């Protein structure tokens, strides 16, 4: 049997494992489990050791499902994880404590307080989002000083997990480093002066490597945990959204990946970053070395959950059943999503029903997505060549029609339930063989939108 490759994804809510045939065309096995989450003094945290236990068990189950032949042929392991969660390590490479989750909000206060000083002492291309690691480090120095003083280095959650599997270097890949607020993407270099600003000046930053780099091999003890022979190459993954984009086929400048979930991530791939033009944008290195990304998000899924409940609808019900036969344009009801994540509706008649308002929300998020896409395109100086849309809403024909008709660039829809883990497996293949597997199959708007229907959208939304 030809070599197989394992991708592990430590996600916010679930940890997944995918075993892939070397040509990338066949998924041999998958497994998943809830990602363990705890609470520390009212702060949502991930325990590195608990994460490792679940990740190893999930990977072991996927390998067992694939069978002994596929397990014996394993040629590489890569790990992807949530982007901004850094593990602080002591001199013996042990985690000094639990990791605040990216959504815990602990860095928002320091972000407001220290932004100007960080920009003076350690400027980077693009803005520093409040969830970036550098702001969490400030929280750590202030509220967990004993742990902070014990720490000598750090890395991202996925790279730490990879390093725990065997002998090899402690590293951080460029895509994860891009989410720290301490890394300058165009020069691919650290800005360690920022550590002094946030009270963590004694910390050493890890060696930087591109995603898809072999950095070690599976050790004897970890191999026994997996039921494998030692020596399997360990390969750096990347930020989870970006690995998902890679698997979906966002691989060239002008490719836009939209992952529709609670937060609808928009990621535009580009081949250059202009520090002047991108000063107010989230930018960084993509998981394909030599390429960059611009990133922004809409609260479309969160608004959907809020409004379905307000309207007395079941948010788990199929979207097409909820929308019924509502016409294009929602009978004149229009929605607008503001910069502070608020939805306003205008033109609402006194006899409006829930289906009308829900369709207005769907159309409003599509228009907002189009405007956000145009903003990313102008900022990057790069036209959108194709839109790749993934996520649970893409299962709905009505959602696909709305997004296919309202947006920049040709739309294609990707069934990518485990795309992040699959993207990690793709990086494992590339790291070991030098070849990137083909992306997931995609489908264009189906059925083809009749010209008259498309004109209805054009009249209503431009």
CATH number, domain with residue 72: 3.30.420.40
β-pair partners for 270: 292
Confirm whether 94 is domain-assigned: yes
Which H/E stretch holds residue 46? Answer: strand 43-46
CA distance 235 to 213: 5
Confirm whether 229 is domain-assigned: yes
Confirm whether 455 is domain-assigned: no
CA distance 432 to 325: 51
pLDDT band at 1 (very low <50, low <70, confident <90, very high): low
CA distance 194 to 196: 5
Confirm whether 294 is domain-assigned: no
Answer whether residue 50 shows pLDDT above 60: yes
Confirm whether 403 is domain-assigned: no
Number of domains in the chain: 1
pLDDT band at 418 (very low <50, low <70, confident <90, very high): confident
State in Å, rounded, how far the first CA of the chain is from the last one.
Answer: 54
CA distance 105 to 332: 38
Confirm whether 225 is domain-assigned: yes
Structural domain including 221 reads 4-241
Average pLDDT over residues 356-360: 95
Answer whether residue 443 shows pLDDT above 80: no
What pLDDT score was predicted for residue 447? 59
What pLDDT score was predicted for residue 339? 82
pLDDT band at 86 (very low <50, low <70, confident <90, very high): very high
pTM of the predicted structure, to 2 decimals: 0.91
The per-residue pLDDT of the chain, averaged, comes to: 93
Average pLDDT over residues 64-70: 93
Average pLDDT over residues 434-454: 81
Look at the block and give the residue holding tokens 């793709």.
Answer: 426
Confirm whether 351 is domain-assigned: no
pLDDT band at 416 (very low <50, low <70, confident <90, very high): low
CB count, 10 Å around CB of 334? Answer: 17
What pLDDT score was predicted for residue 446? 55
Which H/E stretch holds residue 414? Answer: strand 410-414
């Amino acid at each position: 049997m030809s070599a197989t490759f394992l991708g592990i994804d430590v996600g916010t809510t679930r940890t997944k494992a995918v075993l892939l045939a070397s040509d990338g065309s066949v998924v041999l096995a998958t497994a998943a489990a809830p990602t363990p989450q705890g609470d520390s003094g009212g702060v949502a945290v991930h325990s590195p050791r608990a994460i490792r236990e679940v990740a190893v068990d999930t990977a072991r189950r996927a390998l067992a499902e694939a069978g002994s032949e596929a397990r014996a042929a394993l040629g590489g392991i890569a790990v992807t994880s949530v982007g901004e969660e850094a593990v602080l390590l002591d001199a013996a490479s042990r985690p000094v404590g639990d990791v605040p989750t990216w959504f815990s909000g602990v860095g928002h206060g320091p972000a407001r307080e220290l932004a100007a000083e960080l920009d003076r002492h350690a400027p980077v291309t693009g803005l520093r989002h409040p969830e970036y690691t550098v702001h969490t480090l400030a929280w750590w120095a202030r509220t967990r000083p004993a742990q902070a003083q014990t720490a000598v280095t750090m890395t991202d959650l996925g790279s730490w997990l990879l390093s725990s599997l065997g002998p090899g270097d402690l590293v951080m890949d460029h895509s994860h480093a891009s989410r720290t607020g301490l890394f300058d993407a165009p020069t691919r270099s650290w800005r360690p002066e920022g550590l002094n600003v946030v009270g963590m000046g004694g910390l050493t930053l890890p060696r930087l490597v591109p995603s898809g780099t072999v950095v070690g091999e599976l050790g004897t003890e970890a191999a026994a945990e997996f039921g494998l022979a030692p020596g399997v190459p360990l390969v750096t993954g990347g930020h989870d959204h970006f690995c998902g984009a890679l698997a979906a086929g966002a691989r060239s400048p002008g490719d836009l990946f939209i992952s529709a979930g609670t937060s609808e991530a928009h990621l535009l791939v580009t081949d250059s970053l202009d520090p002047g033009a991108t000063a107010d944008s989230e930018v960084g290195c993509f998981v394909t070395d030599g390429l960059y990304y611009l990133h922004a998000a809409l609260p479309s899924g969160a608004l959907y959950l809020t409004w379905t409940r307000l309207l007395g609808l079941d948010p788990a019900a199929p979207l097409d059943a909820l929308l019924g036969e509502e016409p294009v344009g929602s009978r004149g009801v229009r929605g607008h999503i503001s910069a502070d994540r608020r939805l306003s509706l205008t033109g609402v008649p006194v006899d409006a029903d829930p289906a009308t308002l829900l369709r207005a929300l769907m159309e409003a998020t599509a228009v907002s997505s189009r405007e956000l896409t145009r903003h990313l395109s102008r900022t990057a100086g790069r036209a959108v060549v194709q839109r790749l849309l993934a996520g649970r809403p893409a299962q709905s024909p009505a959602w696909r029609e709305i997004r296919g008709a309202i947006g920049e660039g040709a739309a294609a829809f990707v069934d990518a339930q485990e795309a992040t883990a699959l993207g990690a497996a793709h990086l494992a293949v590339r790291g070991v063989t030098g070849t990137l597997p083909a992306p997931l199959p995609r489908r264009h708007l189906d059925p083809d939108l009749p010209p008259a229907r498309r004109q209805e959208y054009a009249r209503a939304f431009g």
